[in-house]
Amino acid sequence: MLLKRSEINRVISEALSFLEQRQIVFPSFAQWNLADWKNAGPEYQEIIDNMLGWDISDFGYGDYSKVGVLIFTFRNGNFHNKDKYPKPYAEKLLLVEANQELPFHFHWSKMEDIINRGGGNLIMQVYNADDADGFADTDVHVAIDGRAVTLPAGGKITLRPGESITLLPRQYHRWMAEPGTGRVVLFEVSTINDDTIDNRFYDAKDRIPVIEEDEAPKYLIFDDYKRINNL
C-alpha cells in the first residue's frame, strides 16, 4: 500500500498546529519547504546524515489512522560515522493519534525511554524476544520512572501523562492510545538510532513508506532527503 503525499502534508500540518498550541516549538527546518531544502548549504549536512526531522509510517497497512506513528527527530548520532558524529544519544517526539496503534517490534541495538509528555494515556504491551526472534514465554523486566517492574509475557502497562518506561534491546513492544483519552504526546530519549536497520517488526510490513506523489510535498520526511533534487 502507498502512503499519499497529501496525507503526509495534512498529518504534519495538523501536528504542528496541535503541538505549538501546547507550547512545543520546533527548530526552523521542521517547516522548511522543498525550496528551502534545495537551498540549504553544507552546514546542514548533519540533518541529512543523521535522519533528523519528520518521519511517518503506516507500516504498510494502508490505514494511518488505525496503525501508524508520526515522529520528529530533534537530535541523533550516527551508527556509521561515529568519528564525525560522536553523539551517543537521540531525542524524538512521537505523536500517537486517538485509537492508533504502533505494531510489535524490538530494536537490535537501541535502548530507549518512552515518556508520556501529555494528552491521553498510552497502553503498552511487552514480550522478550526468544532465540528465533519470536515471543518468549518469560517475564519482562522494565523500569517505570526508576521503579523496577516485572511483567508477565504479553503483559500490559498504562503510561499516564508524566510517566515513562525504559526498554532494552530485544524487548518487543507495541502501544496504542487508550480509547477515550485522546492523542498522546510522547518523547523518546535513547541511544543513537537508525530506523533503516535497527527495527525488527513481528508481523508489520514496511517501516519506511512508499509515497504516492499525488501533490507537491509541503514538508519532507527523512527518507526524502536522498532524492530532494527529484521531487
Instruction: Cell numbers for 70, please give them.
Output: 508520526
DSSP secondary structure string for all residues of 55-107: EEE-TTSS-TTTB-EEEEEEE---TT-TTT----EEEEEEEE-TT-EEEEEEE
Query: Over pLDDT 90: what percentage of the chain?
Result: 92
What pLDDT, on a 0 to 100 scale, did the predictor assign at position 182? 94
Q: Which residues contact 3 (CB under 8 A, 6 or more apart)?
A: 56, 57, 58, 62, 64, 209, 210, 211, 212
Predicted confidence at residue 35, as pLDDT, reads 94
Q: What is the structure's pLDDT at 204?
A: 80
The pLDDT of residue 231: 84
d(CA 43, CA 45): 6
Q: Is the pLDDT of residue 229 over 90?
A: no
Q: pLDDT digits over 169-218, tens only?
A: 999 999 999 999 999 999 999 999 998 899 999 998 788 999 999 999 99
- Strand-pairing partners, residue 181, are none
DSSP-derived 3-state class of residue 44? helix
Residue 226 has pLDDT above 80, yes or no: yes
C-alpha cell at 96: 500517537
Nearest Cα residue to 216 out of 37, 94, 51: 37
Mean pLDDT, rounded, for 6-18:
97
Domains and CATH numbers, the chain: 3-230 (2.60.120.10)
Nearest to 213 by CA among 224, 201, 200, 203: 224
Q: What percent of the chain has pLDDT over 70?
A: 100
Residue 142 pLDDT? 98
For residue 1, pLDDT over 80 is answered with no
Q: Average pLDDT for residues 84-94, to the nearest whole number?
A: 97
Tens of pLDDT, residues 20-57: 999 999 999 999 999 999 999 999 999 999 999 999 99
Of 184, 187, 169, the closest CA to residue 114 belongs to 187
